[in-house]
A and B are shown apart, each in its own frame.
Chain A
Amino acid sequence: MKLKGAQIVVESLIAEGVDTIFGFPGGAVLPLYDALYGAKLKHILVRHEQGAAHMADGYARATGRCGVALVTSGPGATNTVTGIATAYMDSIPMVVLTGQVPVGLIGNDAFQEADIVGITRPCTKHSYLVRDVNDLARTIKEAFYIATTGKPGPVLIDLPKDVLNATAEFEYPKTVSLRSYNPTVEGHPAQVKRAFETMKQAKQPVLYIGGGMILANASAELVKFAKKTRMPVTTTLMAMGAHPTREELFLGMLGMHGTYAANMAMHECDVMVCLGARFDDRVTGRLDAFAKNCTVIHVDIDPTSIGKNVVAHIPVVADLLDVMKKLNALAEKDATDWDDKHRPWLTRLAEWKSLYPLRYEKSEAGIIKPQFVVEQAWEAAKGRNPIWTTEVGQAQMWAAQFLQFDGPRTFLSSGGLGTMGYGLPAAIGAQAAFPGRLVVNIAGDGSIQMNIQEVITAVQYGLPVKTVILNNGVLGMVHQWQELFHGKRYSNSEFQMNPDFVKLAEAYGAVGMRITREADVRPALEEAYKVNKPVLMDFVVEKEEKVFPMVPAGGTVKEMMLL
């Protein structure tokens, strides 16, 4: 069947099982938009291309499938860069289709030309410039394969306009053959056994879980393994939801704003079992004081993560689902009395948990505490199977600390890149995938303004996302660091002015609410969750509130500041 390049793209996306794409048209992609007209693909028209990239990312995180964004050449493409870098840092499967000027004009500084393959080279897993329409279908097949296998990540396909207009015989390839790309999937059985035997010898082990557990869809295996072996679990920001939070074995998030119990467990453990995490600086603090007295087992699909920051005594390069299944099979056949072996350790951890739980000082004079809003947002969402997204900064940390999770793919947050402006479009992407679920974005008054234009997208497509703005009038995390480390010189972190978020919401056709009294917090949330429209809730909260505990950047667990 002979098809135009543009039709080949549409048919290939359908063949990949794509149902929704997020995009914004422009000159170079007009042929593709023409082919989309009447096609069996839902297209969500965003208001800024960064929004399209984050929506595709949110869709991917919520569903586990590949997200797709489509934008034009030049500024359309460059506007997606932050979204691509966000997905890259958090290993999110995504295919970004960018328009490009016709092949003959490439390199001529043509109108709306940008070398987007060059610009995104360091923040994509791979990228393509398609110069021949005959390569198009195979390229798309490869792009989806690369984006979703091994360590997932964004793949960019640059599509010159003349390639979209040219015709070629179309048959979507069934298989991919790439001699240079064969991601390791199975864990070496002997190495997994060695890891298991080491855990059996441990008296004070800890399971340190990263986002890889969620990406590998291995959370259920983790829960089973932890339960069987009675090993305590701490998760990174990226892994929130990989293990239920309200359980005895769960220590909370670790790292800079992690719990006392989690960070102490990492400090005092004799065997550290790192599963799908990468020893990020926000987790380790000062490296020369981290994991000095323990055996490190490190399982990751990405060989470059292993031994990069922390020496792994027992490295395993593999898909976590495979390794977790193997570990569970070993545990199944094993007669170790894990509970007896770990009893003193678990008792100590329980003491730390009860001595230094996550807490905040209750409000005085009715001023709303941001942590209270987050707690209430969770309480009010009980039984609604919510998906949470966050912006970045204090609000993000409070969300990680004070929300509770029962399962994976319910907490979508920009961990690696720390992208303000991520939460709202990510929520829209998640809501597009799950129209019937409650999707709530926990935001600050700073970060919500970075992609606030997407409120109208949510309204237009009837995607009733809820945004909780913790409005303290300052860039909270910057403010906190300035207070603690820069002598309270609040350089440019205080907004002298903010928009009226209620009017703004209403101008977009969404529902706006302003909440200034503690007593009104819960009723407002209940009401917002009920209404079948996007809602912006402007909670006016305590300005001086800080995120604790805090291990200063480059510090050690000994320097942890507690409330």
Chain B
Amino acid sequence: MDSISAINAQEQQVIEQLVKRVRQGDTQALGALYDRYAGRVYAFLLRAVQRELAEELLQDVFVALWQKVYLYDPQRGSFNAWFFTLVRHRLYDALPKYQKHQSEDLLSVPGVVESVAEMTGDQSDLEDQVIRLFRDEELRRAVNHLPPDQRQTILMTYFGGLSHKELAEKLNLPVSTIKGRARLGLQRLRQLLPEQS
């Protein structure tokens, strides 16, 4: 083990091995992936829905992982990115069926208030609360260094439970503007993020 990249590479290798086993129908490997990812998926889901639904969706997401893992191609990106995209899509697919909250109403939902307050220790601005969901101080700083419109777009659309279209409607802007901000924000964030993240 000579460097951080060696750790990251080995961690990635462990994940890839677990994914490979899940593809072969190994439920124990799915359990191991659950242990690694469930807490983060649940934290993400709690941003958009109440506890009961978050747990229901959490189950749904891992069942979807089981069923769709054959579609994951490491050549196209990391498992983290694939899985997170899957999680977001499952959430957006499920929201209309259940109880759709606009982001400004989220904090009025008792379950969400409780969970956010537990996680962040306060009930200040929604963007600030989303930022505090990241455990990595450097990452939080990097997000805070984004221009305000890009930061808002990244946080609200990727972590705040809003689609690009919904945020565009909320801000009365064209969807293309929101998409452009999201792209620029991600590019800027990539430059700001330390290599080891």
A and B associate: no
Interface residues of A (CB under 8 A from B): none
